[in-house]
Amino acid sequence: MISVEEKLSNFSSKVLDKANDKRSAMIDEFKKAQEIYTEEKELEFLEQAYEKIQNNLLLLEKAQKEKQSKLQNDYRVQLLKTRQGIFDDVFSHVESKLKSFMVDGAYVDWLKASIKAACADAGDGEKIVFINRSDEKLLKPLTDELSLNIQISDEDIMGGSKVFNKNRNIISDHSISMQLELQKAEFVKNSGLNINLL
């Protein structure tokens, strides 16, 4: 027969074994919970780090685009200034040549031809011919020779003529200023100085 002491020792051993098993199970459970918590926290930190990286990349991309846009705008401004300088130089020279032509004897014949062409373009009807104020000394001789109603223009047309047909309510513009404006547009178009701003 088993003594009480043996029974107690046996019982004690079983209780201790169960307690050890329970303790081991609790430790395993704690380790698993700790691993899950650690993984969740790592994932949370990784997501936060990823978001920060993405936000910083977006900020960097935006800054680069703004810098590139500013550089493009600066380039366009410089290009426009250069184009305007070339344009001004060319047409300053043209205007100088035109002024020389206007004091030359050939200008009077050209002006008469301009008036006749403008009158022809204006068509039949009552016409008023306008010439530039700088041609005022030619007003009487032109009026007498061409038998037309010739007046001094209120605007600076540089030279040449404008004809207003009262009956048809149209203007035929053969002024130097109009021809110069047309040449400026053609010059920009054909010279390769056209700038696409988009």
In a domain, 60, yes or no: no
56 falls within a domain: no
Question: Is 18 within a domain?
Answer: no
Contact 176, 159 (CB under 8 A): yes
User: What's the structural domain count of the chain?
Assistant: 1
Average pLDDT for consecutive 10-residue bins of the chain (198 residues)? 75 80 86 88 89 91 93 87 85 88 89 95 95 93 94 93 96 93 84 61
Structural domain range at position 95:
85-191
**For the chain, first and last CA: distance in Å?**
107
Q: How far is CA 185 from the centre of its chain?
A: 20
Does 125 reside within a domain? yes
Q: Is the residue at 35 inside a domain? A: no
Say whether 103 sits in a helix, a strand or coil.
coil
Element (H, E) at 163: strand 160-165
In-domain check, residue 80:
no
Contact, 142 vs 112, CB < 8 A?
A: yes
Rounded Cα–Cα distance for residues 117 and 133 (Å): 20
Q: What is the predicted pLDDT for the residue at 195? A: 60
Residue with tokens 């900020």: 59
Residue 34 lies in a domain: no
Q: Is the dihedral of CA 125, 131, 133, 137 positive or negative?
A: negative
- Rg (C-alpha) for the chain, rounded Å, is 48
Res 21: pLDDT = 83
Tokens of 164: 């207003």
pLDDT value for 161 = 95
Is 62 inside a domain boundary?
no
At 179, which CATH number? 3.30.2320.30
Confidence (pLDDT) at 193 = 64
